């Protein structure tokens, strides 16, 4: 019994942890959900890697209260706040904040001493990719312009003696570049996944469009066939009415009854294409009129 309770408690804890780590879902907006998932991955990865970078720098002899170390810890705190903002539904604001904070942190690290030759300036390229992924092409272009201006400003500051380049220990530089490479690979993977998703969506839309076009073509063909059948029916009806009118006019000119009946059967058989046409009168047998028929006309239908 105790083991079952422990198992249930463990499952409940795992469920709670998964819910905490999972990105928010917005059923009404698929693009917003995908952006939230990307930001969630970037926030967790950046926080873990930045904390690892901080620990590695301390182990390599860097002062934990050094300006660069404090900047790293500040970025981790901001990432936690960004995640809370994202979970509240402000996904676009979280994306802009993530890009702006990381760019500002890289600039401060460059000003702190690494200058234009350090990892702070090199990380601008990663931030440009991140801006394109989370915010869009315009944001990536904006980051590129700011980074170019910042590069010339850092170069001027170092040339004028405003900042002094202080190289980090070789292993510290290796650790910093390892962080940049891992984040770059993660961002590139997310970009490729986003492009693949867009490609799959485009293929699905193309398939649906092709199916819709085939259905429309089928409906068009069916409609054209019905129109042709209806037109043929109306034309045939009009032709029959014209024939009836012509027969009526011909019959009206005849006075003799026997001639009238014989000619009527002949005209009906000829004009309507009947193989056999006949007329006989009603009444008593003694007063029946002769039976007239016209069987000599070759036609496809009979009466």
What tens digit of pLDDT does each residue of 242-300 get?
877 877 777 777 666 677 777 777 777 776 777 777 776 655 554 444 545 555 444 33
Tell which wins on pLDDT, 69 or 1.
69
DSSP structure class, residue 254: -
Residues 183 and 93 reside in one and the same domain? yes
The verdict on residue 232 lying in a domain is yes
Q: Which residues pair with 292 in a beta bridge?
A: 279
Give the separation between CA 51 and CA 36, rounded to whole angstroms.
Answer: 22
What tens digit of pLDDT does each residue of 75-105 get?
999 999 998 998 888 899 999 999 999 999 9
Q: Are 274 and 240 in contact (CB under 8 A)?
A: no
Residues 55 and 179 reside in one and the same domain? yes
Residues 147 and 246 reside in one and the same domain? no
Which one of 197, 232, 250 terminates a domain?
Answer: 197
The verdict on residue 211 lying in a domain is no
Give the separation between CA 274 and CA 243, rounded to whole angstroms.
Answer: 13
The verdict on residue 62 lying in a domain is yes
The verdict on residue 119 lying in a domain is yes
**Residue found under tokens 């202080």:** 166
Q: What is the DSSP string of 104-160?
A: HHHHHHIIIIIGGGSHHHHHHHHHHHHHHHHT-HHHHHHHHHHHHHHHHHHHHHHHT
What tens digit of pLDDT does each residue of 20-69 get?
778 888 888 888 888 888 899 998 888 988 888 888 888 878 788 888 88
The verdict on residue 209 lying in a domain is no
Residue 87: how many CB atoms within 10 A of its CB? 16
Give the separation between CA 143 and CA 125, rounded to whole angstroms.
Answer: 9
Print the domain residue range for 275.
217-293
Residues 126 and 271 reside in one and the same domain? no
Identify the pLDDT of residue 112. Answer: 79
| Mean pLDDT, rounded, for 121-149 | 90
* Number of domains within the chain: 2
Residues 53 and 157 reside in one and the same domain? yes
Identify the pLDDT of residue 285. Answer: 52
Q: What are phi and psi of 55, to 5 degrees?
A: -65, -40
**pTM of the entire predicted model:** 0.65
Q: Is the dihedral of CA 181, 182, 187, 191 positive or negative?
A: positive
Residues 105 and 223 reside in one and the same domain? no
DSSP structure class, residue 27: T
Which one of 169, 197, 225 terminates a domain?
Answer: 197
Residues 167 and 47 reside in one and the same domain? yes
What tens digit of pLDDT does each residue of 202-232 get?
899 998 999 999 899 999 999 989 998 888 8
Residues 193 and 243 reside in one and the same domain? no
Residues 229 and 164 reside in one and the same domain? no
Instruction: For residue 278, give the H/E element and its range.
Output: strand 278-279
In the predicted model, is pLDDT for residue 149 greater than 90?
Answer: yes
Tell which wins on pLDDT, 2 or 166.
166
Residues 40 and 82 reside in one and the same domain? yes
What tens digit of pLDDT does each residue of 170-202 get?
887 888 888 889 988 998 998 898 888 888 888
| Mean pLDDT, rounded, for 124-131 | 90
Identify the pLDDT of residue 1. Answer: 56
The verdict on residue 202 lying in a domain is no
Residues 53 and 173 reside in one and the same domain? yes
Identify the pLDDT of residue 271. Answer: 67
Which one of 168, 197, 226 terminates a domain?
Answer: 197
The verdict on residue 210 lying in a domain is no
| Mean pLDDT, rounded, for 108-128 | 84
Residues 184 and 221 reside in one and the same domain? no
The verdict on residue 239 lying in a domain is yes
Long-range own/partner contacts, residues 177-184 (CB < 8 A, 24 or more apart): 177/119, 177/122, 179/49, 179/50, 179/52, 179/53, 180/119, 180/122, 180/123, 180/126, 182/45, 182/49, 183/45, 183/46, 183/49, 183/126, 184/125, 184/126, 184/129
């Amino acid at each position: 019994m105790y083991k079952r309770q422990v198992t249930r408690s463990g499952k409940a804890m795992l469920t709670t942890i998964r819910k905490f780590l999972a990105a928010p879902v917005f059923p009404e907006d698929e693009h917003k959900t995908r952006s939230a998932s990307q930001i969630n991955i970037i926030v967790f990865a950046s926080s873990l890697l930045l904390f690892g970078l901080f620990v590695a720098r301390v182990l390599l002899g860097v002062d934990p209260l050094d300006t660069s170390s404090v900047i790293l810890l500040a970025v981790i705190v901001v990432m936690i706040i960004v995640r809370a903002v994202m979970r509240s539904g402000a996904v676009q604001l979280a994306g802009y904040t993530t890009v702006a904070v990381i760019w500002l942190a890289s600039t401060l690290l460059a000003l702190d001493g690494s200058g234009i030759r350090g990892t702070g300036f090199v990380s601008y390229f990663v931030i440009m990719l991140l801006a394109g992924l989370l915010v869009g092409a315009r944001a990536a272009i904006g980051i590129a312009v700011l980074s170019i201006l910042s590069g010339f400003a850092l170069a001027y500051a170092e040339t004028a003696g405003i900042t002094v380049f202080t190289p980090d220990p070789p292993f510290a530089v290796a650790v910093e570049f390892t962080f940049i490479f891992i984040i770059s690979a993660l961002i590139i993977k997310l970009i490729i996944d986003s492009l693949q998703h867009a490609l799959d969506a485009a293929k699905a839309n193309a398939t649906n469009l092709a199916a819709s076009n085939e259905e429309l073509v089928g409906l068009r063909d069916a409609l054209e066939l019905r129109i042709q059948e209806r037109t043929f029916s109306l034309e045939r009806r009009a032709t029959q009415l014209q024939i009836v009118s012509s027969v009526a006019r011909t019959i009206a000119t005849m006075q003799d009854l026997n001639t009238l009946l014989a000619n009527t059967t002949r005209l009906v058989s000829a004009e309507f294409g009947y193989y056999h046409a006949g007329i006989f009168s009603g009444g008593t047998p003694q007063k029946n009129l002769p039976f007239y028929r016209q069987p000599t006309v070759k036609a496809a239908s009979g009466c």
